[in-house]
Amino acid sequence: MSGYQRMVSYLYRYDKGIKGKNTGYARIERNDRRCRVTIRLQDTVSVSPSVFFFIQNEGGMQRIPAGKLARNGSGFAGRVETPVDRMAGSEYAFDRIDGIYLSGPENVFYATTWKDITVSGAAPEKEADGWKAEDDRDAGNRSDAGSGSEESRPQAVNTASTEIRQESERAEPVQRRQDALDDALQAATGLEEASSAEASSVEACSRRERPDFGERMLSVFPKMYPFEIDEMGECVRIDLKDIGNLPVAYWSLAGNPFLLRGYYCYRHLIFACIGRQEYAVGVPGIYSEENSKWAKECRMLRFQPLSRVKDRHGAFGYWLIAVHAQG
């Protein structure tokens, strides 16, 4: 994809216009010709949300209909592909678009923006350039998305220049690199929002089962022997998706930016025993003052080199975050 660019923008729930919790994300990929948007929403909604690109004006929000999400597990998902110079068949290029709007229940909507603006969901009294504000329910009825595939896609609005389809063969390598990120962001926004009853049930089960979660992980995943020091115990290699095996309180690590960077640089994480029934998740990386500061901001308080070194600067090792059975 010539001129390929990618960004991730987080979705938030707005109740009566007030910004609330994070409920998902939109991944935007674009090149010189096409724009592809992948959306995941995790919230308690009974009706599939309609998707709009929006332009925030002083008089309100101008919305451009782009389809409808489909149910995907406990949430909703979809993908829109459109010409970058005519977003969703409109006369507006991507650079004019301020964000993405999803319809919700009464007095609720979801939105994300990648610009320094304040989102207001109110539609202007008169839409500019011939675009008329639609009732969200009417817009949603324009098209329905099928379900049953691994990642459901919204149907396109009825325009010749917009299509929602499977990615082209030339983009497949890029998509493969994104699959793990989808899982990570889904975990970060979905698993965290599990009901308290479900979380209590999971934790109660964990307490009853023997061996504990750490011993199970050390027995299931591939063994690694990266350290040459006695302080570090058993160690196994884990993947991003395996964070779901940790206690509920640690599922949010799947969205930790420092962890994600280390994972995508070195394509693995570790789970290690660091004491008597004390465990840690390790993020691979090279020690520097800049990395150390960022790691601490992201709760990675300890750097463990592979062997004893006089100067940690430039040494390869793992940034550790302790994991406890009770969270």
Catalogue all structural domains in the chain, each as residue range(s) with its CATH number: 5-171 (2.60.40), 194-323 (no CATH)
- For residue 323 the two structure tokens come to 């994991």
Three-state secondary structure call for residue 165? coil
82 burial level (CB within 10 Å; 0-12, 13-18, 19+): buried
Lowest mean pLDDT among 19-28, 210-219, 239-248: 210-219
pLDDT reading at 240 higher than 80: yes
Phi, psi (5° rounding) for residue 151? Answer: -135, 105
When pLDDT is cut at 50, 70 and 90, the band that residue 35 belongs to is very high
- In this structure, the chain runs to a length of 327
Kindly tell me if the per-residue pLDDT of 62 is higher than 80. Answer: yes
* 80 contact partners, CB below 8 Å, separation of at least 6: 36, 37, 39, 51, 66, 67, 88, 154, 156, 162, 164
- Measured between alpha carbons, how far is 238 from 47 in angstroms, rounded to an integer? 37
Q: How many CB atoms lie within 10 A of CB 229?
A: 10
**308-326 burial code (b ≥16 CB/10 A, e <16):** eeeeeeebebbbbbebebe
| pLDDT tens sequence across 137-185 | 344 333 333 333 333 333 333 333 333 333 333 344 444 445 555 555 5
Residue 271 has pLDDT above 90, yes or no: yes
Q: Say if residues 72 and 45 touch (Cβ distance below 8 Å).
A: no
Share of the chain above pLDDT 90, in %: 25
Give the pair of three-digit tokens for residue 102.
Answer: 């999803």
What's the mean pLDDT in 255-283? Answer: 87
Whether omega before 257 lies within 30 degrees of 0, making that bond cis, reads no
Q: Is the pLDDT of residue 121 over 80?
A: no
Query: What letter represents residue 154's amino acid?
Result: P
pLDDT at residue 327 in the model: 56
How far lies 257's CA from each of 24, 42, 242, in Å? 15, 20, 17
Q: What is the mean pLDDT of the chain?
A: 75
Report H helices in 89-152: 136-141
Q: Provide the pLDDT for residue 326.
A: 64
CA angle 130, 56, 77 (to 5 degrees): 90
290-305 tens-digit pLDDT: 899 999 888 888 898 8
> Is it the case that residue 47 has pLDDT exceeding 60?
yes
Amino acid residing at 11: L
Dist. CA 153–CA 37, nearest whole Å = 10
Please check the confidence at residue 191 and state whether its pLDDT lies above 70. Answer: no
pTM over 0.85: no
What average pLDDT score do residues 95-122 get?
Answer: 91
Please provide residue 209's backbone torsions phi and psi, each rounded to the nearest 5 degrees: -75, 145
- How far apart are alpha carbons 252 and 8 in whole angstroms? 17
Residues 95-104 pLDDT 10s:
999 999 999 9
